[in-house]
Structure 1
């Protein structure tokens, strides 16, 4: 008899919770990505209204991943070590 192992869901955030400085960096990066990040597709291969409605979630996730990997120095500014 064949045994099928249960599927374990992966975490979407991929790591520890963001610190206050990382959350600030995420918000900053999210605003920057709104203007210079990937734009919505057009034409036959676009996601249509659904892509427009949910693109902010993808932008937020991209900004969160970038905040985990980059150090913009916001932690030093928040602690007064500028």
Structure 2
């Protein structure tokens, strides 16, 4: 029987975004909270579930926008 080693935490760690990209995403997320898409207010609205999970959608929208846009928040040539 052959036992293979388990990769260390450094090998398994996912690639993290640059700090400037994280800042851009946080900025866009805050902006989308106020001017982003609002839930419907009729019989077909999502109710309590929509209220609870809408922040996840806002976070995803901000992540997509941060990847597509460059707000110029990097310092000294960082990505």
Q: Could you say which TM-score interval applies, normalised by the shorter chain?
A: 0.7 to 0.9
Determine the structure 2 residue equivalent to 1:39: 38
Structure label with greater radius of gyration: 2
Determine the structure 1 residue equivalent to 2:27: 28
How many aligned positions are there? 64
- Name the Cα RMSD after superposition: 1.9
Q: Show structure 1 runs of 5+ residues with no match.
A: 1-15
Q: Return structure 1 stretches of 4+ with deviation > 6 angstroms.
A: none
1:37 deviation in Å? 0.2
TM-score normalised to structure 2 length: 0.73
Q: Higher relative contact order at CA 8 Å, sep ≥6: structure 1 or structure 2?
A: 2
